[in-house]
Amino acid sequence: MSHEKAQKTQNEVPTGNASKSSITDEELAEAMRSEREELEETWARPSGVWGWFTDTDHKAIAKRYIVTAFVFFLLGGIEAALMRIQLAFPESHFLNPDRYNQIFTTHGTTMMFLFAVPIMTAFGIYFVPLMVGARDVAFPRMNVYGYFVYLIGGLLLYAGFFLNTGPDAGWFAYVPLSGPAYSPGKRVDIWAQMITFTEISALVGAVIVIGTAFKMRAPGMSINRIPLFVWAQIVTAFMIIFAMPAVMLASSFLASDRLIDTHFFNPAEGGDAILYQHLFWFFGHPEVYIIFIPALGFISPIIITFARRKIFGYVPLVLSLISTGFIGFGLWVHHMFATPIPQMGESFFTAASMMIAIPSGVQIFCWIATLWGSKLNIKTPLLFVLGFFAIFVLGGLTGVMLASVPLNLQIHDTFFVVAHLHYVLIGGSVFPLFGAFYYWFPKWTGRMLSERAGHLNFWLMFIGFTLVFFPMHQLGLNGMPRRVYTYLPETGWGTLNLIASIGAFVLAAGVLVFIVNAVWALRAGVVAGDNPWGADSLEWSIPSPPPNYNFHNIPVVQGRYPIWQATADAPIVRGLNTKKRETLVTSVMDAQPELRFDIPGPSIWPLMVALATAVTFIAGIFTPWAFLVGAILAGITLTCWFFADPNYENKSARETGEKSEKVAPRVELQPKEV
């Protein structure tokens, strides 16, 4: 297709059923001046304590998620440091075995369920609406519910931990160890119910992200123009939807085996311990990708911005994300090679485990191709991405090693596995996450983080990480099992362990530099402006921090890089009500305007339903009757939610003198050029 024709189709305005007109710049400026006050009032956030409990603003909820998850990250980090102190020297008595078990279980549980998944969800909740040009997420009240359920789940785990009732059967709580016979008391029950809370919250987040990304994109953002960040969030959300039910069943079966004597995992009555492993890892392996794929979504925009050019291979990148999502469901048995699985079955999972390296490789080569020959602008976010390449590729290599059954059996449950999983999770997820912190901090706060401190932060974390985890490969090959609270001096593992422990403190210093940097920047950082990095995506087209209503006029997107490709006379959307909360709903494939959707405002009922959920599952640790009481409470609170602020839309429709609603016919469209 000729350039001229491409240009023409690019500037076509997708109107769907809406009408088209034009406005001069002066008229527009005048209209916006008079609307601004009304918009501010309509989208005003409630203040005070009541406001904290009722606010539905997606940016406020997401920031809350991020701060909460970061606090859990610090708690998990402190637990890691305690373990490293214990293991620094042989026959150490800093921690006793029971305390050590609780600490490594709480560390793993915190990092996986209370830090990694929620913080990735939080980035989606903050940026998906901003990147697709919406005024809020699709279901803002459900979003509030999701946050409170998550918070309560996290508090439950730590309440148990500080009362010496922290779970102690490992973060995947295998039966029979976690079953009623070998884990009396309530420690494992707390773990099982905490899982329920965090899974509910993750599922809620997934539905919100898909709803927003599918139905609330600005006109012109057809499916082939969706930003790569949003694609990563969509793929993750679908993985959550298909993976999380497995762990909910696993933890519910476990809890009911312990509470009401069911026999799902009791071999004496026909139950099966391996069934637990299947259920857990059918969730647990996709979980790794649920943590990792959003991080891939951070890397693409950072590379686009700092390489200052369009991404190489948009379509292969999207297809890689999607195929990673699919193949991710075919790997779970490689966690179970040490169980009696038929060899034929094992070989399929070996093949799938090696196959997943292909889409990962495609992505890395696309990014390298984008960076190659570009005039790099080496700022801290890009530095973390480059660190990701180094660490993640090493973690991927040990992953290919672990996919091989004979080697896997040899090093199963050793420190080699610990090294591998930290290489892929910290390298694949935490490094891009810190890059994302530096990249988007100006959007959240309006201020820049210090670059000098950023470089220091990166190098401390990179060197510290390598010191902690690289020696663990050798420790594992030397035979040091994971989850032992101490070891004998004769084993000769002392030196490498000491190096790892020193590294842990270097890594911690890096995180500390970040915290100091953030606190300093909030007070004295350079004021960022709308688009400090010269980036391409829509969140940078609005002020930092964004106003409550995000976009005064919903933009019309003219390409994959909306800001870079916007023409001076770029069309805009007009006609959203300023007296009530509305956003534009568009079609899934072509993003043609369809509805002026009502966005619900602040409400206390999401919190009340979250509390009903909390009563159900926390009391459910002690008595099955909690589920009856909880069902009644949930019914009452949901009924109130349903009937609360009656007629808000009809009333405001009357006030604003709106016409009756017409039915929109579907419009057929020609496919568009990118």
Partner 1 sequence: MSTRAVIDITELPHHQFDTYDPVWWGNNLLLAIETSMFAILIATYFYLRQNFALWPPPVAELTATLKPLPLLTYGTLNTLLLVLSCGPMILTDRAARQGSRGVCQIGLVICVLCGLGAIVLRSFEFSAVYFRWDSNAYGSVVWFMLGMHLLHLLVLTTESLLLTIWIFAREFDMKHRVDIVTVAVYWYWVTAIWILLYAIIYYVPRLG
- Based on the shown chain and the rule CB under 8 A, indicate whether residue 611 belongs to the binding site for partner 1: no
Is the CB of 256 or the CB of 548 nearer to partner 1?
256
Residue in 123, 126, 231, 253 binding partner 1, rule: CB under 8 A? 253
- Based on the shown chain and the rule CB under 8 A, indicate whether residue 138 belongs to the binding site for partner 1: yes
Residue in 593, 606, 620, 630 binding partner 1, rule: CB under 8 A? 593
Site string for partner 1, 529-568 (x = CB under 8 A): ---------------------------x-----------x
* 3-class secondary-structure state, position 493: coil
Task: Give the residue among 422, 380, 420, 383 at the shortest CA–CA distance from 404.
Answer: 420
HSE (side-chain half, CA atoms, 13 Å) at 322: 8
Residue in 598, 611, 667, 669 binding partner 1, rule: CB under 8 A? 598
Compute the distance between CA of residue 519 and CA of residue 513 in angstroms, rounded to an integer.
Answer: 10
Residue for token pair 């102190």: 85
Compute the distance between CA of residue 51 and CA of residue 572 in angstroms, rounded to an integer.
Answer: 33
Site string for partner 1, 210-229 (x = CB under 8 A): xx--xxx--x----------
Q: Which token pair is 64?
A: 């809350």
Task: Give the residue among 361, 417, 368 at the shortest CA–CA distance from 392.
Answer: 361
- Minimum CB–partner distance for residue 145 and partner 1 (Å): 13
The region of 167-175, 346-354, 540-548, 648-656 touching partner 1 under the rule CB under 8 A is 648-656
The region of 269-277, 314-322, 462-470, 536-544 touching partner 1 under the rule CB under 8 A is 269-277
| Residues contacting residue 568 through CB under 8 Å, at least 6 positions apart | none
Residue in 135, 141, 217, 278 binding partner 1, rule: CB under 8 A? 278
The region of 122-130, 317-325, 525-533, 633-641 touching partner 1 under the rule CB under 8 A is 633-641
Residue in 72, 126, 264, 605 binding partner 1, rule: CB under 8 A? 264
Element (H, E) at 582: strand 582-586
| 598 strand-pairing partners | 582
Compute the distance between CA of residue 291 and CA of residue 492 in angstroms, rounded to an integer.
Answer: 35
- Minimum CB–partner distance for residue 569 and partner 1 (Å): 5
Site string for partner 1, 566-585 (x = CB under 8 A): --xxxxxxxxx-------xx
Is the CB of 22 or the CB of 670 nearer to partner 1?
22
Compute the distance between CA of residue 381 and CA of residue 99 in angstroms, rounded to an integer.
Answer: 38
Residue in 78, 241, 319, 615 binding partner 1, rule: CB under 8 A? 241
The region of 1-9, 182-190, 272-280, 527-535 touching partner 1 under the rule CB under 8 A is 272-280
Residue for token pair 């762990």: 247
- Minimum CB–partner distance for residue 308 and partner 1 (Å): 28
- Minimum CB–partner distance for residue 534 and partner 1 (Å): 23
Is the CB of 463 or the CB of 667 nearer to partner 1?
667
- Minimum CB–partner distance for residue 14 and partner 1 (Å): 8
Is the CB of 373 or the CB of 657 nearer to partner 1?
657
Cβ contact 432:298 at 8 Å = yes
- Minimum CB–partner distance for residue 274 and partner 1 (Å): 9
Range 1-60, binding partner 1 (CB under 8 A) = 13, 15, 17-26, 28
Is the CB of 279 or the CB of 385 nearer to partner 1?
279
Is the CB of 451 or the CB of 649 nearer to partner 1?
649
Residue for token pair 């969706």: 226
Residue for token pair 């439950």: 156
- Under DSSP, the state recorded for 527 is B
| Residues contacting residue 169 through CB under 8 Å, at least 6 positions apart | 101, 105, 177, 178, 183, 187, 188, 191
- Based on the shown chain and the rule CB under 8 A, indicate whether residue 333 belongs to the binding site for partner 1: no
| Residues contacting residue 180 through CB under 8 Å, at least 6 positions apart | 257, 258, 261
Dihedral Cα 621, 622, 623, 629, nearest 10 deg: -70
Task: Give the residue among 349, 342, 296, 344 at the shortest CA–CA distance from 327.
Answer: 349
Range 440-459, binding partner 1 (CB under 8 A) = none
Is the CB of 105 or the CB of 277 nearer to partner 1?
277
Angle between helices 451-477 and 431-445 (to 10 degrees): 160
Is the CB of 37 or the CB of 269 nearer to partner 1?
269
- Minimum CB–partner distance for residue 609 and partner 1 (Å): 13
Range 141-180, binding partner 1 (CB under 8 A) = 142
Is the CB of 412 or the CB of 574 nearer to partner 1?
574
Q: Which token pair is 265?
A: 């995992």
> What radius of gyration do the chain's Cα atoms show?
26
Q: From residue 186, how far is each of 12, 160, 183, 258, 590 by CA, in Å? A: 63, 9, 8, 9, 52
- Based on the shown chain and the rule CB under 8 A, indicate whether residue 289 belongs to the binding site for partner 1: no
Cβ contact 314:228 at 8 Å = yes
Residue in 126, 139, 281, 493 binding partner 1, rule: CB under 8 A? 139
- Minimum CB–partner distance for residue 574 and partner 1 (Å): 5
Cβ contact 233:570 at 8 Å = no
Phi-psi region of 309 (alpha: psi -120 to 50; beta: other; left: phi over 0): beta
- Based on the shown chain and the rule CB under 8 A, indicate whether residue 612 belongs to the binding site for partner 1: no
- Minimum CB–partner distance for residue 658 and partner 1 (Å): 9
- Based on the shown chain and the rule CB under 8 A, indicate whether residue 245 belongs to the binding site for partner 1: yes
Q: From residue 610, how far is each of 74, 113, 290 by CA, in Å? A: 25, 18, 24
Is the CB of 172 or the CB of 264 nearer to partner 1?
264
Is the CB of 185 or the CB of 267 nearer to partner 1?
267
Is the CB of 211 or the CB of 313 nearer to partner 1?
211
Residues contacting partner 1: total by CB under 8 A: 84
